[in-house]
Amino acid sequence: MSAALPDPAGAYPAEAGWTDRAGIPAIAEEGPRGAARAGRRRWWLVLLAVWGPGLVVMLADTDAGSLVTASQSGARWGYAMVLPELVLIPILYVVQEMTVRLGVLTGKGHGALIREHFGRGWAFLSAGTLFLSATGALVTEFAGIAGVGEMFGLARWVTIPIATTTLIAVATIGRYRRVERIGIFFGLGELALLPALVLAHPHVPAMLHGLTSVPLGHGSYMLLVAANVGAVIMPWMIFYQQGAVIDKGLTRRAIRAERQDTAVGAILTQVVMIAMVVLVAAAVERGAHPLNLETVGQIAASLGPVLGAATPRVLIGLAVLGAALVAALVASLAASWGLSEVLGWPHTLNRRPDRQTAKFYVTYALAHVLGAVLVLASINLIGLIIDVEVMNALLLPIVLGFLLALEARTLASHQRMRGGRRVLVTVLCMAVMGFGLYMIPALLA
Distance, CA of 386 to CA of 289 (rounded, Å): 23
Assigned domain for 3 exists = no
- pLDDT at 393 (0 to 100): 67
* DSSP letter, residue 217: T
Assigned domain for 111 exists = yes
Number of domains in the chain: 2
∠54-71-68 over CA atoms, to 5°? 65
Identify whether residues 216 and 307 lie together within a single domain.
yes
130 with 338: CB under 8 angstroms?
A: yes
221 with 215: CB under 8 angstroms?
A: yes
Instruction: Indicate the residue among 18, 33, 48 that finishes a domain.
Output: 48
Calculate mean pLDDT across residues 329-341.
91
Q: CATH number for the domain including 69?
A: 1.20.1740.10
Q: Of 72-86, 90-104, 215-229, 383-397, which has the strongest mean pLDDT?
A: 90-104
| pLDDT band at residue 17 under the 50/70/90 scheme | very low
| pLDDT band at residue 383 under the 50/70/90 scheme | low
Distance, CA of 408 to CA of 417 (rounded, Å): 8
Mean per-residue pLDDT of the chain: 81
Condensed to tens digits (0 to 9), the pLDDT of residues 113-148 reads 999 999 888 888 888 778 777 888 888 899 889 989
Separation in Å, CA 167 to CA 163, 248, 324, 334: 6, 20, 11, 14
Assigned domain for 263 exists = yes
Assigned domain for 5 exists = no
Calculate mean pLDDT across residues 207-235.
78
* DSSP letter, residue 6: P
Distance, CA of 266 to CA of 95 (rounded, Å): 11
- pLDDT at 288 (0 to 100): 66
> Is pLDDT above 80 for 384?
no
Assigned domain for 4 exists = no
Condensed to tens digits (0 to 9), the pLDDT of residues 179-201 reads 999 999 999 999 999 998 888 88
Distance, CA of 335 to CA of 362 (rounded, Å): 11
Domain that holds residue 28: 10-48
Identify whether residues 159 and 266 lie together within a single domain.
yes
Assigned domain for 29 exists = yes
Calculate mean pLDDT across residues 324-335.
93
Assigned domain for 2 exists = no
Identify whether residues 37 and 74 lie together within a single domain.
no
Assigned domain for 39 exists = yes
- pLDDT at 8 (0 to 100): 33
Identify whether residues 236 and 314 lie together within a single domain.
yes
52 with 262: CB under 8 angstroms?
A: no
Taking alpha carbons only, the member of 88, 137, 117 closest to residue 391 is: 137
144 with 371: CB under 8 angstroms?
A: no
Instruction: Indicate the residue type of 234.
Output: M
**Quick one: what percent of the chain has pLDDT higher than 70?**
82
Identify whether residues 118 and 41 lie together within a single domain.
no
Higher-confidence residue: 267 or 416? 267
**Quick one: what percent of the chain has pLDDT higher than 90?**
29
- pLDDT at 9 (0 to 100): 35
- pLDDT at 104 (0 to 100): 93
Identify whether residues 43 and 154 lie together within a single domain.
no
Calculate mean pLDDT across residues 313-339.
91
Separation in Å, CA 187 to CA 190, 218, 235, 266, 387: 6, 34, 19, 13, 25
Distance, CA of 52 to CA of 34 (rounded, Å): 28
58 with 244: CB under 8 angstroms?
A: no
Identify whether residues 33 and 62 lie together within a single domain.
no
Identify whether residues 181 and 330 lie together within a single domain.
yes
| pLDDT band at residue 285 under the 50/70/90 scheme | confident
Identify whether residues 91 and 32 lie together within a single domain.
no
Condensed to tens digits (0 to 9), the pLDDT of residues 347-369 reads 889 888 888 999 999 999 999 99
> Is pLDDT above 70 for 259?
yes
Higher-confidence residue: 258 or 129? 258
Distance, CA of 278 to CA of 124 (rounded, Å): 42
Q: What is the pTM of this model?
A: 0.85
Lowest mean pLDDT among 41-45, 57-61, 190-194, 420-424: 41-45
| pLDDT band at residue 16 under the 50/70/90 scheme | very low
Lowest mean pLDDT among 60-74, 260-274, 315-329, 350-364: 60-74
Identify whether residues 242 and 366 lie together within a single domain.
yes
Distance, CA of 127 to CA of 122 (rounded, Å): 9
Identify whether residues 44 and 56 lie together within a single domain.
no
Using DSSP's 3-state secondary structure scheme, residue 27 falls into: coil
* DSSP letter, residue 253: G
Identify whether residues 308 and 323 lie together within a single domain.
yes
- pLDDT at 28 (0 to 100): 39
